[in-house]
Amino acid sequence: MSTSQASKKYNIWIVILSIVIPVVVAILSQLKLQDFGITVEPLSFLPPIYAIINGITAIILVMALRAIKKGNRQLHERLIKIAIALSVSFLVMYVAYHMTSDSTTYGGEGPLKYVYYAILISHILLSIIVIPFVLITYVRAITNDFVRHKKIAKITFPLWLYVAVTGVIVYIMISPYYS
């Protein structure tokens, strides 16, 4: 099987996951377990944990870039798998928090409020956009299409890093307003 044939078999999954993940996260984040008669304590301890996970993801991504630049493909691969696992963990915790807790609104005023919302909106939009990029980049690596992998990784890396770093910034900016 050629490289392009191998990656084509993954394309349907990339499309499905790129649509399903943001839709499921959006729907589940709006549902409250209490609305279904399920009594659960709010998981209010999760936001700092998933902010730390975002920070670790950013560090892992930088380490993965350094590893591949030094020619250590095996370490790069392991680090990317860890970054993907961390991103999935973040999503699970994010949904769990929002299914058990009311959303926190930003309480700041003045220019900082606009900075916060600009960062938040760009973070949310790019967190959706980065999903197919991560999946395509990963598939190109596992199908040994390294020329095309490297090409798209140059787009994926800064997008993913931005999402990870802004996740931490959003948490830091909103954390004084958690109840």
CATH topology of domain 3-177: Four Helix Bundle (Hemerythrin (Met), subunit A) (1.20.120)
Label residue 1 by pLDDT band (50, 70, 90).
low
Answering whether pTM is above 0.85, one says: yes
> Rounded to whole angstroms, how far apart are CA atoms 92 and 138?
21
Residues 6+ apart with CB under 8 A from 77: 141
> Rounded to whole angstroms, how far apart are CA atoms 132 and 137?
8
> Rounded to whole angstroms, how far apart are CA atoms 99 and 48?
17
User: Which percentage of the chain shows pLDDT scores above 90?
Assistant: 87
Label residue 126 by pLDDT band (50, 70, 90).
very high
pLDDT above 90 for 3? no
Mean residue pLDDT of the chain comes to: 94
> Are 175 and 121 a contacting pair, CB within 8 Å?
no
- Give the tens place of pLDDT for each residue, 78-105: 999 999 999 999 999 999 999 999 889 9
